[in-house]
Chains A and B, each alone.
Chain A
Amino acid sequence: MADTAVHGHHGEVEGGKWDGGQRPMDASYGKLMMWYFLVSDAFTFAGFLIAYGTIRFSMPAWPVPDFVFAKAPFLHGEWPLIFVTFMTFVLIISSVTMVRAVQEGARENKRGVVFWMALTILGGATFLGCQAWEWNTMINGEGVTVTKDPFSSQLEAGTYVSGEELLAEGYTAKKASEAPELQGMDLHGHDDHAEGAHQEIMYYLKPGAEDIEDNRLFVKRTHEKTFDELKADNELSFGVKDPYLITYGHDTHLYEPAAFRGEDGDIKAEAFGPIAFGSLFFFITGFHGFHVFSGVVFLIIIMINVASGLYAKRKNGYEMVEKIGLYWHFVDLVWVFVFLCFYLL
């Protein structure tokens, strides 16, 4: 490094290595402090991920990741893990372009640094865009929020039941449009997937039930399929800990617990998954995304400074680029573990 030569290596100055006036760790103050900042940041992330693991370990069931993260832009149907793999590659490639920028800096090649930093910024921005898409899909498409987890895993095997079966069991059918808490809502009773058919959304009350909130059951449907379509596709049965998504009522704007028959023959309602899932997911990926965002901001500032010739004057091999490089690789490093905890395990 250009300026270690100025200060000299081990013992060139009189006195011991740790007696001042030297760099006992052969790194500049700025670089050393960047490393220690990253250590503390690593512990912050580790704290969050350990909290995730602790809560997950305490739950009897947890949403299955490759079922939760199965959507991809421009692709229909289920594509488990494909989109997050793409996001991982975006970060890996931006890390690689960052290494190139640092290398060009070491040989004082200003144009090279700006070029490779610009590509790195592009990678960071792409990643942020992907994350925005993923969050939007999670919140508006699948309904996961910090307070609601419509995903879960069954603790027993079962089969979803139809409205007719519920009526045969003594349940009473009610129109969703007449549910007290839905008064005043625009319930058009229209089913997106049954073309032209105006189908009244019904809910079913347990025999003798008065408390509507806890005893209201719906018949299973998904975003794509009605109950009959699910039946035709043989998708009504599930095993122990199979993942499922609680029905979202596009008309009622509520998550509707569907009725199923357990192995003991009783009719039961789906239960929501652990609430902590959503808050941990959004907080941890959000905290990582915030790191990516601040990284992009700093990369832009430093790239402008590089272009203006500020670091060329310092003649220290573009050390500032090396420091932001350390930070940028750390963001990639954290993603390795976020990817592991949320998507692979």
Chain B
Amino acid sequence: MGHLSYEESKKVVVKGLILLGVVTLVEVAIALFANGHITESFDIGDTWMRYPYMLIMIGLSIYKAYFIVYEFMHMRYEAKGLAASVLLPTVLLVWAIVAFFNEGASYGDRRELIDKKDQEQVEPTYKLKKTSMLENTRELKKEDFK
């Protein structure tokens, strides 16, 4: 910490408290407003507006994280090498998030497709009755199943 005087660092604390508090209140206010808890007439629901909403929330959270790490945890005053060795590995998480969320979405799509196929009614057109495959290779008619 030696880089700031005692009085200066006390000011940083007050600034941090106000900043984190205000950002949190803004986040909650946006969440309540966007989801129709403040006025019933406005609700972004499941539309494209969900994406900018998510981006704003993620952006504000990353800003809070940045402030906690840089000011409260004094990363700003640490050696560059220390900051790099701590912060750079977290960039790998970007890949993890993209890859896993993609996989999750794809899994959801497949399950939806399977559910849809399960609902489909199809007429059986071909069925083996006996153990020998060669004996029953003619096409069966509906009567064969009665």
**Residues of A bordering B, CB below 8 Å:** 1, 24-27, 32, 35-36, 38-39, 42-43, 46-47, 50-51, 53-60, 64, 66, 80-81, 85, 88-89, 92-93, 95-96, 98-100, 102-103, 106-107, 240-241, 325-326, 329-330, 332-333, 336-337, 339-340, 343-345
The answer on a CB contact under 8 Å between B97 and A100 is no
The answer on a CB contact under 8 Å between B81 and A24 is yes
Nearest 4 interchain pairs by C-beta: A57-B104, A54-B104, A58-B108, A58-B107
CB < 8 Å neighbour of B24 from A24, A43, A92: A92
B101 located at the interface, meaning its Cβ lies under 8 Å from any Cβ of chain A in the complex: yes
Q: How far is the CA of A85 from the CA of B111 in the complex (A)?
A: 36
User: Could you say which of B57, B85, B104 has the most chain A C-beta atoms within 10 Å of its C-beta?
Assistant: B104
Residues in B whose Cβ lies below 8 Å from that of A106: 1-2, 6
Taking the closest CB of chain A, its distance from the CB of B59, in whole angstroms, is 10
Residues in B whose Cβ lies below 8 Å from that of A241: 45-46
The answer on a CB contact under 8 Å between A25 and B24 is no
Give me 13 other A-B pairs in contact (C-beta within 8 A), A53-B100, A57-B104, A89-B21 excluded: A1-B2, A24-B79, A66-B31, A66-B32, A88-B24, A99-B13, A99-B16, A100-B13, A103-B1, A241-B45, A325-B73, A333-B68, A337-B61
The answer on a CB contact under 8 Å between A27 and B78 is yes
Taking the closest CB of chain B, its distance from the CB of A272, in whole angstroms, is 16
Contact with A along B88-121 (1 / 0, CB 8 A): 0110010011001101110110011000000000
B37 located at the interface, meaning its Cβ lies under 8 Å from any Cβ of chain A in the complex: yes
Taking the closest CB of chain A, its distance from the CB of B86, in whole angstroms, is 5
Q: How far is the CA of A56 from the CA of B100 in the complex (A)?
A: 11
User: Could you say which of A89, A98, A99, A332 has the most chain B C-beta atoms within 10 Å of its C-beta?
Assistant: A99
Taking the closest CB of chain A, its distance from the CB of B107, in whole angstroms, is 4
Q: How far is the CA of A157 from the CA of B96 in the complex (A)?
A: 35
The answer on a CB contact under 8 Å between B35 and A66 is yes
B122 located at the interface, meaning its Cβ lies under 8 Å from any Cβ of chain A in the complex: no
CB under 8 Å from chain A, chain B span 1-43: 1-2, 6, 9-10, 12-13, 16-17, 20-21, 24-25, 27-28, 31-32, 35, 37
Residues in B whose Cβ lies below 8 Å from that of A344: 27-28, 31, 57, 61
> A50 with B97: in contact, given A99-B16, A107-B6 (CB under 8 Å)?
yes
* Least CB separation from A27: chain B residue: B82
Taking the closest CB of chain B, its distance from the CB of A217, in whole angstroms, is 21
Taking the closest CB of chain A, its distance from the CB of B134, in whole angstroms, is 41
Residue contacts A-B, CB under 8 angstroms, 25 given: A32-B82, A36-B86, A42-B90, A46-B93, A53-B97, A54-B101, A55-B104, A80-B37, A81-B31, A85-B25, A89-B24, A92-B21, A99-B12, A99-B13, A99-B16, A103-B6, A326-B73, A329-B68, A329-B72, A332-B72, A333-B69, A336-B64, A337-B61, A344-B57, A345-B54
Residues in A whose Cβ lies below 8 Å from that of B73: 325-326, 329-330
Taking the closest CB of chain B, its distance from the CB of A118, in whole angstroms, is 17
Q: How far is the CA of A100 from the CA of B31 in the complex (A)?
A: 32
The answer on a CB contact under 8 Å between B21 and A26 is no
CB < 8 Å neighbour of B78 from A25, A50, A80, A102: A25
* Least CB separation from A242: chain B residue: B45
The answer on a CB contact under 8 Å between B32 and A80 is yes
Taking the closest CB of chain A, its distance from the CB of B53, in whole angstroms, is 8
Taking the closest CB of chain A, its distance from the CB of B114, in whole angstroms, is 12
Residues in A whose Cβ lies below 8 Å from that of B111: 58
Q: How far is the CA of A59 from the CA of B107 in the complex (A)?
A: 9
The answer on a CB contact under 8 Å between B79 and A26 is yes
Q: How far is the CA of A339 from the CA of B45 in the complex (A)?
A: 20
Q: How far is the CA of A344 from the CA of B103 in the complex (A)?
A: 23
Q: How far is the CA of A326 from the CA of B35 in the complex (A)?
A: 35
The answer on a CB contact under 8 Å between B17 and A96 is yes
Residues in A whose Cβ lies below 8 Å from that of B27: 344
CB < 8 Å neighbour of A50 from B13, B17, B61, B100: B100
CB < 8 Å neighbour of B101 from A36, A53, A93: A53
CB < 8 Å neighbour of B108 from A43, A59, A325, A329: A59
